[in-house]
Amino acid sequence: MLVSFAEAAAILDREDYGEVARANATFLLSNLQKTGCCFAPTRPANQS
Partner 1 sequence: MNAYLEDYANLIHGLIALYESTGEFEWFENALGLADKMIEQFWDDEAGGFFFTGQSHEQLIVRSKEWLDNATPSGNSVAALALLRLALLTANDDYRRRATTILRLMADQIRRYPSAFGFALSALDFYLSSALEVAIVGEGHDSRLQDLLRAFWHLYLPNRVLAVCTTSFEQAASRIRLLEGRNNLKTQPTGFVCEGYVCKSPALSGDELRKQLTLK
User: Footprint of partner 1 on this chain (CB under 8 A)?
Assistant: 1-3, 6-7, 9-11, 13, 18, 21-22, 24-25, 28-29, 32, 37-41, 43-46
Nearest approach, Cβ of 43 to partner 1 (angstroms)? 7
Nearest approach, Cβ of 14 to partner 1 (angstroms)? 11
d(CA 28, CA 38): 9
**Max CA separation in the chain (angstroms):** 47
CB 16 within 8 A of CB 35: no
At residue 5, the 3 state secondary structure works out as: helix
Nearest approach, Cβ of 26 to partner 1 (angstroms)? 10
